Structure 1
Amino acid sequence: MGVTVIEELPKTGFLKFRHDQLFEVRKLFNLEKPGRVKEAIELLREWLEKQDHFNKTDFSDAYLELLLITTKGSVERAKSRFDKLCTYRTIWPHFFTAIDINSFKEDFKTFNSLVLPEVTEDYSRVNLFKINSNVPLQADLVLTYIKFSIIVCEYCKMHDYASGYIVVLDYQDVNLLDLLALLSPAQMQQMLNLYMEGYGMRIQGIHLVTTSKVSDTLIMLLKQVLSKKVGNRIHVHRNYESLYDFIPKKILPADYGGDAVPLSEMMEDFLQELSSKEHLEYMKETQSATVDLRKKPKDDEMAMTGSFRSLSVD
Structure 2
Amino acid sequence: MDYITEPENKLLRHGPEVIQKIRKEYNLDNKERREEAIKIVEQWIKTQDHFIKKDYPKSYIEKSIITSKGSIERAKMQIDKMCTMRTLLPKYFQITNIQDSELMDMLQKGYFGLVPVLTKEMHRVIIIKIKPDVDVYSKDSTLLFKFFVIVAEYLKCYDYCQGFMIIGDCFDASAADVLSKVNLLELQQIIPLFVEGFGTKIKGIIFVTGSKFIEGFVKLVKPFFSEKVANRIHVATTKAGVQEFIPDDILPEAYGGKGEPVEVLHEKLVQTLSSKAHQELLKEMNAACTDESKRNRDKFNEKYMGMPGTFRTLSLD
Name the structure with the higher helix share: 2
Contact 2:249 2:258 in 1 (8 A): yes
5 Å matches for 1:1-314? Answer: 6=3, 9=6, 13-102=10-99, 103=101, 104-298=103-297, 299-300=299-300, 301-304=302-305, 306-307=307-308
Farther-moved stretch of structure 1 (167-176 vs 211-220): 167-176
1:30 counterpart letter in structure 2:
N
Contact 2:4 2:59 in 1 (8 A): no
Give the CA deviation at 1:286. 1.1
For residues 14-49 of structure 1, give each alpha carbon's deviation from its aligned partner in whole angstroms, at most 9, with x where no partner exists. 111145111011122222233222111001001001
2:67 counterpart letter in structure 1:
T
Contact 2:6 2:12 in 1 (8 A): no
CA distance in 1, matches of 2:177, 2:135: 9
1:88 counterpart letter in structure 2:
M
Contact 1:5 1:38 in 2 (8 A): no
For residues 89-124 of structure 1, give each alpha carbon's deviation from its aligned partner in whole angstroms, at most 9, with x where no partner exists. 111111111111212322222122232111001111
CA distance in 2, matches of 1:216, 1:176: 11
CA distance in 1, matches of 2:92, 2:305: 16
Contact 2:242 2:255 in 1 (8 A): no
Give the CA deviation at 1:68. 1.7
Q: The residue matched to 2:142 in structure 1 has which SS?
A: helix
Tell me how many residue pairs correspond in the alignment: 305
Give the CA deviation at 1:179. 2.7
RMSD: 1.9
The two structures have a TM-score, normalised by structure 2, of 0.90
Percentage of pairs with the same residue? 35
CA distance in 2, matches of 1:36, 1:117: 30
Contact 2:114 2:265 in 1 (8 A): no
Contact 2:241 2:255 in 1 (8 A): no
Farther-moved stretch of structure 1 (12-21 vs 288-297): 12-21
CA distance in 2, matches of 1:291, 1:165: 28
1:176 counterpart letter in structure 2:
A
Q: Residue 314 of structure 2 aligns with which residue?
A: none
